[in-house]
Amino acid sequence: MNTEIVLTNGCIVTSDAAFDGTVVVRGGQIVELSRGRSGAAGAIDLEGDTLVPGLIELHTDNMEKHFSPRPGVKWPAVPAVMAHDAQIAAGGITTVFDSLSLGDVRGDTDRVQNRTRMVEAICEASERRMTRAEHRLHLRCEITPDDALEAVDRWIDLPLVGLMSVNDHTPGQRQFLDPSKLKQYYMGKFAMTEPQFEAFHARAIELHERNAARHRAEIVSRAQARDLPLASHDDATAEHVEEAVRNGMTIAEFPTTWEAAEASREAGLAVLVGAPNLVLGGSHSGNIAAIDLIRAGQADILSSDYVPASLMEGIFSLPASDAGIDLAQAVRLATLNPARAVGLDDRGEIAAGKRADLVRVRLLGDAPMVRAVWREGERVV
């Protein structure tokens, strides 16, 4: 790709500043950026819009809803991936780690039944370069199911796998320390009766006691042998964090308490928080609010989790909040910081020599509207 693109008359957001300027792209890379407006023939006038790096998403389970838009419905696989990809790209995300749950604490659910179809469809669409965003795989390894190791061994060596996380959604272990919130969530979301909830709870505890410790050790060993980045998930206590450090984990996904977030940061783990939590002003599970962690300097990475558009919304909400960070610092939470956390040093910022993954954004009131997206210099939205 040798086409030159000149983007000018916009607010250019680099890793440490925002200024009115111009970006020149050639061969899929950023080759120059400067202050002021370009007079080059054919330059694209950004009309004062903001230009940010393509967002990098490390944890989204958004694709699952496209494979099972209603309970029991199995949508065709490649169209489901493409619908998910369209949402991702429209949200300004140019690199996405699709977080696929290899197991479910509730048993043989839609996500478990769809996991093979999801993996195969992502690989096919990526290999044929059908997607707007670049897709990679984040294997979410639930440690309590009996087939946890079998599932990991089936997919861990795929070229697209770039991140693994260890998950334990056993009731009361991590995400839901408050028993009332736990019951409210499961009975509300999954339409469980009280007897059904009690049976589920007992079965989950039994699986945890039988499998969790052994499966965790085996999964960590497999990831380490392949030099794959490892993330902990929903840590709630200092003991959880100490275990994550012993396991060589470098990312702390969604710590649920102050204690876990502070311990993770002190231990050198990159703390990932949810953009839906930020946009909504708090956690739907009753856990710590993302804005509080950001305000205290205890968060490093922002993730859209289950709402792709929330990542851009969260970024642009921060400078006007009382979080004490400017736009460049907010943008880093979803670009340079996640890139560094998973070893992608070719992207994540607007700088000479980096990939031309770029997003043009215009504010409609307080809401950021994505107007154009370039991936490696090619316009995809």
Q: For residue 108, what pLDDT is reported?
A: 75
Same-domain pairing of 184 and 136 = yes
| Per-residue model confidence (pLDDT) at position 205 | 85
Q: Are residues 103 and 44 in the same domain?
A: no
The CATH number assigned to the domain holding 77 equals 3.20.20.140
CA distance 22 to 4: 13
Indicate if 115 and 201 belong to the same structural domain. Answer: yes
Same domain for 168 and 64, yes or no, is: yes
Tokens 């589920």 sit at which residue? 200
Q: Are residues 147 and 229 in the same domain?
A: yes
Domain that holds residue 381: 1-53+347-381
Contact 248, 229 (CB under 8 A): no
* 242 and 380 together in one domain: no
pLDDT at 169: 82
For the chain, 381 residues long, the average pLDDT of each consecutive 10-residue run is: 87 97 97 96 96 98 94 93 98 97 80 92 96 98 93 97 92 66 73 81 86 95 97 94 97 95 97 96 81 96 97 96 95 98 98 98 96 98 97
Burial class (CB in 10 A: 0-12, 13-18, 19+), 11: middle
Alpha carbons 285 and 80: distance in angstroms, whole number: 28
Q: Are residues 29 and 112 in the same domain?
A: no
Same domain, 231 and 87: yes
Edge-to-edge, what's the strand order for the sheet holding 134-142? 55-60, 93-101, 134-142, 161-167, 230-233, 251-253, 270-274, 301-303
Q: Residue for token digits 């056993």?
A: 170
Query: pTM (2 decimals)?
Result: 0.93
What CATH number does the domain containing 11 carry?
Answer: 2.30.40.10
* Pair (135, 29) in one structural domain: no
218/205 Cα distance (integer angstroms): 20
Residues 205 and 152 in one domain: yes
What is the number of structural domains in the chain?
2
Query: Are residue 34 and residue 110 in the same domain, yes or no?
Result: no
pLDDT at 192: 81
Q: Are residues 352 and 337 in the same domain?
A: no
